[in-house]
Amino acid sequence: MRDTVQAEVTMTFLVSEELAFRIPVELTYDSNDPYAITFTFHLPGDAPVTWAFARELLLDGLSQPSGEGDVHIAPASSEHLSDVFIRLQVGGERALFRAGAAPLVAFLDRTDRIAPLGEERSVADLECDLTTALDRILAGNTEGQNAG
């Protein structure tokens, strides 16, 4: 059983202190990979760019600076939950985005209904067990039909 959650969020791409523009970003969660989420950035004039990273990283980044390596997420304000900064890095190239926290929280809430944080493995194991059981049942039906 495969469950997905998708949402579109508008983020601000902060090119420099003088230049910023709003872009649509598609958020996706797929229960087949219960620990990850993907962000697909639709930059004007370019092919969409997709980044995958830990769902828990996004959750942690809403309240405190989080992330090592290529993805860093941090609240824009330490006093209240309003916006977050998402910094992506490949080699020496960096991209900085600002997003409202509310739609990110709503997205995470929807993913949590499918696979609660901390229980991802049990959900994935259950799905695997169900698939295996269905395969056996269907294989048994096929054998029974061939015998008669």
Q: Does residue 140 lie within any of the structural domains?
A: no
Q: Would you place residue 12 in the very low, low, confident or very high pLDDT band (cuts 50, 70, 90)?
A: very high
pLDDT confidence of residue 129: 55
Model pLDDT for residues 78-112, shown as the tens digit of each residue? 777 789 999 999 888 899 999 999 999 999 999 99
Structural domain for 45, as ranges: 4-119
CB atoms inside a 10 Å sphere around CB 50: 11
Q: What is the CATH number of the domain that holds 45?
A: 2.30.31.20
How many Cβ atoms from other residues are within 10 Å of residue 8's Cβ? 12
51: its two tokens = 């980044």
Comparing CA positions, the residue from 48, 47, 7 lying closest to residue 28 is 7
Q: Contact 21/13 with Cβ under 8 angstroms? A: yes
Which residues is 41 bridged to in the sheet?
25, 49
Residue 11 lies in a domain: yes
Residue 124 forms part of a structural domain:
no
Residue 130 within any structural domain of the chain: no
Q: How many domains does the chain have?
A: 1
